[in-house]
Structure 1
């Protein structure tokens, strides 16, 4: 391979990393379209990144997503350091007080991904979540809140993606009236219980950075332990206050470092 070919390969690899980062996850066909490459070339780019450990592939959906190794490219810088320095101590302290687990979730393609969980701080007999676990955006309380607080054009595009998804858990996105009601409620009230009302339930509120949704704060609870009315009365105000405290401590301009 000559120098020009090596540079082209490097550029394609870097562009692929940037595109996957912006979308959360990509299929080979999506990378091919996004970078205007032949499918075989797009596949070689992704397989190279896979071999080097910069991406991984979901065996079920066949979609590629970035791994933690990408962080090594940033020289120690992380835009999500607020999760460790601000959110983690706050969430664990609150879980010890209220008894219910708390989660920070962010979007990853069609799903909401757990970035922080206080499950280890509880003794409840619940489904244990781990960092990196995902849940369908169309049904989860975190997904509904994320969609509700997106820019309208981004929300329209994301809803279209969910409507076309092969994942059966995303089917509610194909019901525009049901989805519009859920999103309007989340926008108006500032919280959502989502559309999956099973034995274990959750309520979510947005975390905003300068008016844009940055992440979602989630509280998991048992249906037999709390009614929705009790959650709204006793916990939603506290969750909103926590979210506001995180926003103030992590994203306010006067807390930015002086360069």
Structure 2
């Protein structure tokens, strides 16, 4: 069919490709599976897969290394505001935590704040021979009982800590009593800041056989994300893990922070 204002035929492939980009730019998590893209665009799954291959080849879409989801790439920044700021962190950090895996063998997660929790944006669980989990992307971790959450909470500004505590105190969750315990909070912050990393050793009830250490990623004088190292507590203590691996973890963080400063991204919105 010809458009009344132009003699040229409408490009169906281009229209479908743009529809996929539109869905990816509006998904709450910033990523989507082929099945979701097919459902939301009305395009057959096979066609969606073919179009994604083209968009990846042209640099506008990337496939997660952790699962089968797809997300917008840096290049889309030149076209619109469709990419969330956290996606910059995820994309920059993904190769870095891949390198970390080569040194540690234990899996790591890249996490960003999501309400009064942190959410896993990228992970090396899928690639670690020592991993005891696989489907970790988009899993939420509590702030006060996980190393990744504590690394955010203990190193963010005091005002933000108070805001986060108020949210947790209002929740009906296992960590709510901890948020009301002023002594626990003070000791947690002091210990974490003094040792330079956060830790947990089976403190999260859902994963009581797991231990971890974690460090924050800073950008523009604020905590932008955290990276953890996860292991079984009967094999390693957090102290032993820090002795062996904290230098590698900090090296990864410094590299990510350096790349973030080169990109000079705009954080935009308030996190709380």
Q: TM-score, normalised by structure 1?
A: 0.65
2:90–2:110: 8 Å Cα contact kept in structure 1?
A: no
SS in 1 for 2:236: coil
- Closer, same or farther: CA 190–74 of 1 in aligned 2, 3 Å: farther
Cα 1:95–1:177 change in 2 (3 A) is: same
Aligned mate of 2:226, from 197, 216, 220: 216
- Closer, same or farther in 2 for the Cα pair 1:119/1:161, shift >3 Å? same
Q: Do the aligned partners of residues 228 and 79 (structure 1) sit closer, same or farther apart at CA in structure 2, a change above 3 Å counting? A: closer
Do residues 180 (structure 1) and 186 (structure 2) align? yes
Distance 2:81 2:160 in 1: 31
1:207 match:
217
- Please say if residues 200 and 238 of structure 2, whose CA atoms lie closer than 8 Å, have aligned partners that are also in contact: no
Distance 1:74 1:221 in 2: 40
Asked if 1:92 corresponds to 2:98, the answer is yes
> 3-state DSSP class of the match of 1:193?
strand
SS in 1 for 2:213: strand
Q: Give the gaps of 5 or more residues in structure 1.
A: 1-20, 25-51, 53-67
User: Residue 155 of structure 2 contacts residue 216 of structure 2 at CA under 8 Å; is this kept in 1?
Assistant: yes
Q: How many angstroms does 1:118 deviate by? A: 0.6
Task: Summarize the alignment of residues 4-153 of structure 1 with structure 2, pairs less than 5 Å apart.
Answer: 74-124=80-130, 126-153=132-159
Contact 2:100 2:248 in 1 (8 A): no
Structure 1 contact 145–183 (Cα < 8 Å) conserved: no
Matches within 5 A, 1:162-201: 162-194=168-200, 196-197=202-203, 198-201=208-211
Secondary structure in structure 2 of the residue aligned to 1:107: strand
What runs of 5+ residues in structure 2 fail to find an aligned partner? 1-27, 30-39, 41-70, 266-272
Structure 1 residues 174 and 195, CA gap change in structure 2 (3 angstroms): farther
Residues 137 and 170 of structure 1 are in contact (CA less than 8 Å); yes or no, is this contact kept in structure 2? no
How far is the alpha carbon of 1:227 from its aligned partner?
2.2
Number of the residue aligned with 1:245: 255
Relative to the length of structure 2, the TM-score reads: 0.62
Residues in 2 aligned to 1:125 and 1:144: alpha-carbon distance in whole angstroms:
22
For residue 191 of structure 1, report the CA deviation from its aligned partner: 0.6
Instruction: Report the RMSD for the aligned CA atoms in angstroms.
Output: 2.9
The residue matched to 1:235 in structure 2 has which SS?
helix
Q: Is the alpha carbon distance of 1:203 and 1:242 closer, same or farther for their aligned partners in structure 2, counting shifts above 3 Å?
A: same
TM-superposed CA distance for 1:195, in Å, is 6.6
Match of residue 160 from structure 1: 166
Q: Is the contact made by 2:202 and 2:209 (CA closer than 8 Å) also made in structure 1?
A: no
Structure number, greater radius of gyration: 2
Cα distance in structure 2, aligned partners of 1:201 and 1:138: 14
